[in-house]
């Protein structure tokens, strides 16, 4: 059940909703990361208004980045896993972590840093969010 399940089902509509909500979850985590990072590195230097505008700006920009990634790379990989019967929450967690870490490494010029690890964790959470909104067990089987 954690990795393979042939009883979990989804529909195209639930899959799109899951990917959209996952995009929002990823953008929220990214904005939170940048705001907390700014607070930690510049303690007391910024005004709360500037942190709010920073967070909102990062959220809006990263929403498009997460949506693009989820609807292109994520959806393709998910379709392959789904067709192979790999539909459990652990597989969604691992797929999200690995895909986001790989994208982070590519975008950072293959430099391993703490932010790549953080984004891998964010991708794992996004994978679980998409899985949770997308899959259901069939009810009332005939």
Tell me: pLDDT of 1 over 80.
no
In three state form, how does the secondary structure of 74-90 look? HHHHHHHHHHCCCCCHH
Q: What is the pLDDT of residue 142?
A: 44
- More confidently predicted of 75 and 116: 75
> Using CA atoms, how far apart are residues 18 and 24, in angstroms rounded to an integer?
10
Average pLDDT taken over every residue of the chain: 86
Instruction: Compute how many other C-beta atoms are within 10 angstroms of the C-beta atom of residue 42.
Output: 10
Instruction: Grade residue 126 by pLDDT with cuts at 50, 70 and 90.
Output: very high
Q: What is the pLDDT of residue 27?
A: 96
This prediction's pTM? 0.85
Q: What is the pLDDT of residue 112?
A: 66
Least confident of 12-16, 35-39, 80-84, 128-132: 35-39
Taking only the tens place, the pLDDT of each residue in 17-68 is 999 999 999 999 999 988 888 887 776 655 666 788 889 999 999 999 999 9
Q: What is the pLDDT of residue 67?
A: 96
Q: What is the pLDDT of residue 139?
A: 77
Residue 109's SS3 state is coil
């Amino acid at each position: 059940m954690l990795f393979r399940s042939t009883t979990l089902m989804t529909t195209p509509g639930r899959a799109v909703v899951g990917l959209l909500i996952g995009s929002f979850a990823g953008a929220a985590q990214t904005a939170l990361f940048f705001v907390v990072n700014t607070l930690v590195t510049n303690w007391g230097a910024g005004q709360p208004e500037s942190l709010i505008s920073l967070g909102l700006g990062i959220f809006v920009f990263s929403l498009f980045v997460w949506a693009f990634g989820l609807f292109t790379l994520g959806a393709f990989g998910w379709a392959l896993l789904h067709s192979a019967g790999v539909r459990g929450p652990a597989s969604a967690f691992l797929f999200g972590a690995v895909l986001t870490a790989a994208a982070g490494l590519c975008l950072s010029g293959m430099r391993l840093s703490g932010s790549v690890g953080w984004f891998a964790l964010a991708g794992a959470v996004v994978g679980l969010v998409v899985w949770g909104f997308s899959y259901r067990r069939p009810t009332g089987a005939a």
